[in-house]
Every structure is written in C-alpha cells, then in structure tokens.
Amino acid sequence: MEYTHSGLLEQAINAVVARQPKSVFFVACGGSLAYMYNQQYMLDVETDLPTAVVNSNEFIHRNPKLLGENSLVITCSHSGDTPETVAATKFARERGALTVAYTHRADSPLWKSADFALHYDWGEGSDAYENRSGMALRFIFGFLNAFKPGSTYQHALDSVKNLGDIFDANITKFKDRADHFGKIHKRDSIIYTLGSGPIYGDAYSFTACLLQEMLWVHSNAIHSGEFFHGPFEITDFDVPFLLTKTYGQMRPLDERAHAFLEKYSERLTIIDAQEFDWGGIKEEVRQFFAAPIFGAVLRAYAEQLSFHRGHPLSVRRYMWRVEY
C-alpha cells in the first residue's frame, strides 16, 4: 500500500472540517487509551466541543446518546487488532459517526474498520515526527488550525518537527536521575504515581503498562486533584511516590500534592516539566507538548528500573500467552 503520513493526515483533517462535528469521543484500551488524555485536554482547552475519553468495551456497552452523525470518534490500537477497539470503531461507524483510527499496522482490522486511518512509525530509528506522538499532535493541531487558522497553531505544527531532538535532550537530561530512581526502587513492591490534566494519561500509562504490566510492580495512578479525597491517607515516610508536575494551568494541583508529600513522605521522586528542555516551543503551547515529553522521560525511568530489578520489560505472564 502506498501512502504518506502527510497525505493521510490531510484526508482525515479535511473530512473532520467537512463534517463539523459537535462532539468528540476518544476510544481505546490500555496504553492507547492513556495516549488520548492529552488530545482530549487540547480540545477541551481550545474548543467548546463536548469530549470524552472512554474505554473501548465500555464505549459499546455505554452506548452514549450523544453518539451519532455529528460525532467524531478517534480510536487507537498499536497492533491494529485489539478486538474491543476494532468493535468500538465499527459500532461508532454504524451509528453514523466519523471515525479516525491511529495504528502502527496498515491493513490491520482497525485500519479497515475506520473511515480514515492514520499510520504511525514505531521502533528504534523511527522519527518522532512520524511516530504516534507526532501524528496525534499533527492531527489535533492540524484540524484546530483548519477551524481557526492562526500563528499559534502553525507554530505548534512546526514545533512537532523538533520532537525527536526534544525527546533526546530530555532523556539525556534526566538520565542520571532515572538511574537513581531505578537503584532506590529496585526492591520496592509498590510505587504510586501522580499526575493531572494532560499528564494524567502518562501517569496512568506508567502505572498500568510499565509498572504493572511490564515490571510486575504494584501501583496506582492517582490524579493530583483527587489525592486529597481519599488516597493521601496511605502516605507515610516509607511509601514511594512518583509525582509528575505538568506545565500550564493544571500545575497548581500538582504543587499542592507536592507540598503535602514533601512533608509526609521521605520517598518522593519529582519529574518537573519546568525543568524540560523545550527546544524552542513557545510558552503558549508548552502544556500540550508536556505529555509526549513525559512519555519519553518516564520510559527512561522504567528502563532503568527494569535494569536494576533484572526484569526485562518484554516479559509477560498472561498477556498474549493465555486466553482472556
């Protein structure tokens, strides 16, 4: 199959502009679901469209009344064959919604189920501009710019081209801290992760995909704003926490959690977006780029934890090995 990423993006963006959706659903499972939170945040902040992030299986069983011809449904599956997400995409299309799917596998079941599919590159040597983070930012900023053309969105689209260099710079910047994190937590059986706003998805992904799935470390993703409504009672001097402090208007939630944890826990790790190397990204759009940068940095932390625990990230007990 011959295609270009730019060509696929142009087709999908033109279809969204033509449809003029009145609601947007982001639908996926696991790490692909976590990947949707930043995109939803962008639309919530920049438009008046009702949006929701929903697990694929729940999306079908919930059967939202708002879902219909005026809806845009964005789905994602890395392999392109996650059964629940393929079914959710078909379900949305049957209801008349415009469907756009992200996947690494062209001609996969998901690719064939959506009105428009956006392929992304993956793996060592792939360009961040063409990988999942880059394609998502290009799609969302692309149709925002199509609806409301302006220098801010164009700057954001131009900045995506530098994403690979920005990832590399921050992985290098946090390399020693990631190694220290791996050393001090190599025997811990539980690590709690906090985040908010556009970063909550990355906190969830770090918890569910990296700590629980890949490293078999008990964890929970705690929203910084929800921390004081129950979860903070488990805080103690020897309980490990990783707090991701975002950039922009959600930061006060993270600052409040930071102040409490610094007072009552002696095992607090902070990753602060204000320390990121932003590579020329302007202030007004940094909060939208924080999530993919956190994704790259958190992966480095997980890799160092994997090394010090002697537990490869590729090992599974149940996933792809047994019926479920």
pLDDT, tens digit, for every residue of 247-291?
A: 999 999 999 999 999 999 999 999 999 999 999 999 999 999 999
How many helices and strands (H and E) does the chain possess? 13, 9
Residues 6+ apart with CB under 8 A from 273: 199, 244, 245, 246, 247, 286, 290, 293, 294
Give the DSSP H/E element, type plus range, for residue 201. helix 200-205
pLDDT over 80 (residue 175): yes
- The pLDDT of 117-125, averaged and rounded, is 90
pLDDT for res 125: 79
Give residue 200's pLDDT band: very low, low, confident or very high (50, 70, 90): very high
Per domain, the residue ranges of the chain are: 5-160, 177-309
Residues 6+ apart with CB under 8 A from 216: 311, 317
- The pLDDT of 153-167, averaged and rounded, is 96
pLDDT over 90 (residue 123): no
pLDDT for res 2: 55
- The pLDDT of 145-170, averaged and rounded, is 95
pLDDT over 90 (residue 215): yes
- The pLDDT of 24-48, averaged and rounded, is 96
Q: What is the pTM of this model?
A: 0.95
pLDDT over 70 (residue 1): no
In the CATH scheme, what is the code of domain 177-309? Answer: 3.40.50.10490
- The pLDDT of 89-101, averaged and rounded, is 98
pLDDT for res 126: 85
- The pLDDT of 213-241, averaged and rounded, is 98
- The pLDDT of 116-145, averaged and rounded, is 93
- Does this chain's domain 5-160 share its CATH topology with 177-309? yes
Q: Which region, left, alpha or beta, applies to residue 280 given φ > 0 means left and ψ of -120 to 50 means alpha?
A: left
Q: What does the mean pLDDT of the chain come to? A: 96
- Among 313, 93, 301, smallest CA distance to 202 is for 301
Considering only the top CATH level, what class is 5-160?
alpha beta
Are 30 and 83 spatial neighbours (Cβ–Cβ below 8 Å)? no
Q: What proportion of the chain, given as a percentage, has pLDDT over 70?
A: 99
pLDDT for res 144: 95
Give the DSSP H/E element, type plus range, for residue 76. strand 71-76
